[in-house]
Structures are given as C-alpha cells and as structure tokens.
Structure 1
Amino acid sequence: MSGKDTPSPASTASPRADLDLPALYTQADSAAGAAQRLFFTFQKYHITCLVLGSAAAATSAVVDSTIGRWLHVLSTLALGIGVLLTWIAYLRKDELAWFQCRVIAESVKTASWQFVTKSPPFANDQSLVEAFIACLRTIRHSNPAVLDRLTPSISDSDQMISDSMMRLRQAPWEQRRQVYREQRLQNQRVWYARKATRNATLQKRWLIGAIFLQIAAIGCGVAIAITPTITLNLIPFLTTAAASAVAWTRMRRYSELAYTYSITAQELLDLEALEAEIDREEGLAGLVRQIENAISREHTLWHARSAGRARQPEADLKSTDELA
C-alpha cells in the first residue's frame, strides 16, 4: 500500500492485480481474528475443565482412598479454574470486540469496493479522497470500545487509498466490472458456499457425538441398575461431556450459520447471473449496490444477533441491580 493520500496513476501494473484494501481493514481484520481466537480459547479450556473435573470425580470412586482424595482435589481445582476462566472471559469481552472489529473490517471492504467501482456514494470524482477518508474515519469511530485494539500507529490519513485502488478506479468500466466480478462477487459466493457446507458438516458431527454420549450414559445407567456391584458410575461424566458438546455447537452456531451462509451464497449466485447481462457503466453501479447490500445484510444480522448475545450478561446484571 502507498502512504500517500492520492496514489499516482502513473504505474504500469495491471488493474486486474489483487486489490490492496486500506490499512484500517488490515487492522480491524487482525484484531477481530485475535479476539475470536482468544474467546474460543477461553471457552475450550472452560469446557475442558468441566469434563476433566467430572471425570476425576467419577474415577475417585473406584480407586483407593489416597488416590481418591487426590482425584477429588484435581476435580475441585479443575472446576475452580473453570470458574476463573469464565470470569476472566467476561471481563475481557473478547466476543464483543470480535463482533465490532469484524463489522469495521467488513464496512471498510464494502466502502473500498464502492470506491473502486465508482458506485455511490463515491461516484463523483470531486473531493473524492476527502470523502473516502471521512467515510473510513466514521467507520473507525463507530465502535469506540475497540479503538484500543486497532494498531495505534496508523493515523486517519495514512494508507487510506492504495495505488491498486486508485488504478482500478481510473481503469475502463469493463475492467472494473471484471475485477469486481472475480475478486468480490465470485470470491464471496465461493466463500459463503464453502462455509455453509463446512458448518453443516460440523453440526452433524457434533450432534452425532452428543447423541452417542447420551446413549452411552443411558447404557451405563442400565448396567448399574442390572448389576448393582458396579462401582464406576460414568453417568455424570458422560452427561457433562454431552452437555459440553451441545454447548459448543450452539456457541459456534453451526446450524444457523449453515443456513444463513447458504441463503447468501444463493443470492450472490443469482446476482452473478444478472452481472452477465450488464452492458453499461450505470448498470455496474446498480449491481454493486445490490451485491454489497446482500453481503452487508448478512453481516448486519449476524452482528445484531451476536452482539445481543454478548451483551446479555450485562443486561442480566443490570436487571438484577434494578430489582435490588
């Protein structure tokens, strides 16, 4: 990327090269990825502590008293660590930061493609750079809670418009159309289709695992009822593991994402068919508006549902304070 406000068009590079997005996108995308990894890491360790604590407690009944006491200590420590991890995760609010940084990144991406395709609100070349920088500044400050997670060394006016963005904007509309089709429309359609398939597959796998664990718990219960001499009771461990599998599935929202991603992929496929019929530049601007609306709609719904879930603990605490 260029550090200039107005990159020079005097370059021999082809406009069909991969588009370099503004630095703000890189910052927000990196911050979102880091927050997402931290959030799920805390959740993985929390679930592991619950399962480990349950397994240690179940095993303590079939070993000698000395080992049994140590297993009780291990179970207590595991559950205590799980509580501590839950509290730390709540204080860090990585989930909410992940949602907000992702919204910033995707908003920057949408604005950038509107810029390079000369689509509203960047159809007019007058005060173009100022308008785009103002747009990015608005996006960046729309979520002030996560500004500290973005790289602070990049100012609002630095690396906002890359050379490739300016070259593509100045290219003939047919080239802009081709790049937009390949790097935006088709790229997003394939991404959503693959993610829909992957989430559907993972949903089935975790569901089968949870059902297997519950069946195993039922089998243990029947075996203990038939043979009272059995001292190893794995029912608490198996039910905890099954509940953890269900909790993980809902936390990752495999089923919901498989559905919404599939719908978005189909909508983009329909729009790709319309793209083949475009024969003038005005039609490109209208198509970009429809495509970006389709992509933004999925992001907006995802953020609204996810952010609402992330804020639920705060709402519960507020309600409790008000009742007190």
Structure 2
Amino acid sequence: MDELGVAAESAGLNDADLPELFQLADRASLAGQRRTILLTRAQLSLAVLSALAAGFGVGHGTAAKVLEICAVVSFALSLVPAVLLHSGSAQRLWYDGRAAAESVRSLAWKYAMRVQPFDDDATADAEFTTRLAAILALVPELGDEVESESYLAEEAITPPLVVLRQARLSDRRQCYVRRRVEAQIDWYTEKAKGARQAAMAAGACAVASNALGVALGIARVVWDLEVDLLGFFAALVAALAAYGQLRQYWPLAAAYRLTAAELRQVLAMAAETGESESDWSDYCASAEAAVSREHTMWQARR
C-alpha cells in the first residue's frame, strides 16, 4: 500500500472529517433529543408525583389538605412541559436533524468512493455541494443556525474526503468495507442489543408496578388502609408506557437488527464484486441504500 493508500485507510471518514453540515445537524439533533426527553420526563414525573400526593392525602386533617394542594399544584405544573411538547419543534428537530446528519454522512462516503453521480471529477464537487443544499432545505430549522455558507462552499469537501477519493480503488475498497460496512454492522448490532435490553427493563418495571399497585389496592380494601396508592401505581404504569412509546425500544431493536442483517449480506457481496469502478460504484450504492432505509425511519417516526 502506497503513502496515499495508507492515508486513505487511516482516514475512514470520522465525524470530524465530514462536512460542516453534518456537525450542525448532529448538534441540533442531540439538542432536540435532550429537550424532548427532558420535557417528557418532567411532564410524566409531575403527573406521577401528583398521584402520589393524592394517594397520601386521604382524610380531613391538615396534612391531608397540604398533600391535596401539592397534588393539584404538581398536576398543574405538568401542563408546562405538556404545552412545550405539543408544538413538536424539539422532537421534529431531533428526528429531522438525525436524518439530515446521516444523509450527509452517506453522501460523503458516496463522494469519496466515486459512486454515481460523483464518478466524474469535473462535476463531482458541484454535485456534492448541490446535494448538501438539498439536505439543508429539508430541515429549515438548521438554516437559522448557519453563520456562514462554508457548508456549501469548497470547505465542505474536507481534506480526508479528497485523500480517500484520490486513493486507488483497492485502497478505497478496503477502507470502505472495514470503516463503513463492518463498522455499521457493529454499531447496529450493539444498538439493537441495547434497545432490547432497555425494552425488557421498562417492561419489567411496568409489570412490577402493576402487580404492586394491585397488591396495595387489595390491602387497602382488606385492612382499610388510610392511604390509597392504587392511583399512583396506575399513573406510574401509564408513565412508563408513555416514555417507552417515545423511545420506541422494540421498534428500534427490530429496525437495528434488520439493518445489521442486511448489511451482513452486503458485506458478503464484497468479495463477489468486480474490480471495475462501475462494479464498485454499484456495490457502494447498495450498501448506502441499506443504511438509508433506517435513516428514513427517523422522519417517519414524526
């Protein structure tokens, strides 16, 4: 492997090597995710806290009255995150930003691998920046955060992109298979495993809360307890279900598992792919199509 080949193999297009638009979309998506999760947790926690205070606020004493007031206040405060979530702006930025970031990543790999329509050096740069602009147009929220047009200018084509694009076909093949296909298989496999574990944990908590609520409800009837926690556990089960719906653990686990399986098939095809630039272009297009199907799920989840 010559010096350019070594440089191509070491590049691998890490996140820092991608165009500025990727960094922008990635930061925006993470910010939207944090805001969505924070507001959802706040709304559900306040609702559960309200049910807990109401459960202990049984009776006619001063303490019971204070707890009843706390229940009302907590439930009223839950309206604030509920209203903020209702606009959908944070969740939209989360999903659209992620879809945009991954689209830029896929576009960069296609450019570096000389996949059509980036196979012609005379038009590849202009086509690349044009497609970046099209991605940005799909996420108008990102446009407000762009301080310059470097994401659409020559700076968008980073040095690692150029190095990888100029490398020999054999070096590009090796880099793509190892740093793109195999890396994506590992990523999706781990994510599928993590999503499944989270789904199992959330389900176990919901079942335990349900069973405990039933037990305490029966105990109150049998022994005439002065607290009523059945409503609290009912709210807790509903909150767990709502949060699980937001995170989509089971659908994500299935989608990640399917994408990993499809990429394994793509990996197996690498050895059968011809040695021409045309054959390699078709192979990379198939691999990126497998990844992009998972990307579109982010927008569909809106």
TM-score by length of 2: 0.92
Q: 2:297 aligns with which of 301, 309, 319?
A: 301
Q: 1:128 aligns with which of 124, 133, 139?
A: 124
Identity within the alignment, %: 27
Aligned residues: 294
Alignment equivalent of 1:54, drawn from 39, 51, 54: 51
> Is it true that 1:22 corresponds to 2:19 in the alignment?
yes
Deviation at 1:276, TM superposition (A): 2.5
Is the 1:17–1:164 Cα contact (8 Å) retained in structure 2? no
Cα deviation for residue 40 of structure 1 reads: 0.7
Equivalent residues of 1:100, 1:146 under 8 A apart: no
TM-score by length of 1: 0.86
1:234 is the counterpart of 2:229: yes
Please say if residues 25 and 142 of structure 2, whose CA atoms lie closer than 8 Å, have aligned partners that are also in contact: no
Residue 207 of structure 1: how far off its partner (Å):
0.6
Give the deviation of 1:279 after TM superposition: 4.2
Structure-2 separation of matches of 1:233 and 1:103: 46
AA matched with 2:236: A
Cα distance in 1, alignment partners of residues 146 and 70 from structure 2: 41
Quote how far apart the aligned CAs of 1:145 are: 4.0
Which residue number corresponds to residue 5 of structure 1? none
User: 1:163 deviation in Å?
Assistant: 0.5
Alignment equivalent of 2:251, drawn from 241, 249, 256: 256
Unaligned 5+ runs, structure 1 = 1-9, 308-324
Aligned-residue CA RMSD (Å): 1.9
Three-state SS of the structure 2 residue aligned to 1:43 is helix
Counterpart CA distance in 1 for 2:229 and 2:72 is 18
How far apart are residue 97 of structure 1 and its match? Answer: 1.3
> Aligned runs of 1:159-238 on 2, under 5 Å?
159-227=155-223, 229-238=224-233
Separation in structure 2 between the aligned mates of residue 13 and residue 276 of structure 1, nearest angstrom? 21
The one-letter code matched in structure 2 to 1:100 is D
1:38 matched to 2:35: yes
In the superposition, relative to structure 1, how do residues 278 and 92 fare at CA in structure 2: closer, same or farther (>3 Å)? closer
2:106 and 2:4 mapped to 1: Cα distance?
Answer: 25
**Once the 2 structures are TM-superposed, how far is the Cα of residue 154 of structure 1 from its aligned partner?**
4.4
Counting only pairs closer than 5 Å after superposition, residues 102-117 of structure 1 correspond to structure 2 as 102-117=98-113
Q: Give distance in 2, aligned partners of 1:92 and 1:154.
A: 28
Residues 47-98 of structure 1: per-residue CA shift (max 9 Å, x gap): 1101111111111226x72222222222112111111111022236100111
Output aligned runs, 1:267-282, within 5 Å.
267-280=262-275, 281-282=277-278
4+ residue runs over 4 A deviation: 10-13
Stretches of structure 2 lacking an aligned partner (at least 5 in a row): none
Over 3 Å counting, the alpha-carbon distance change for 1:145 and 1:31 in structure 2 is closer
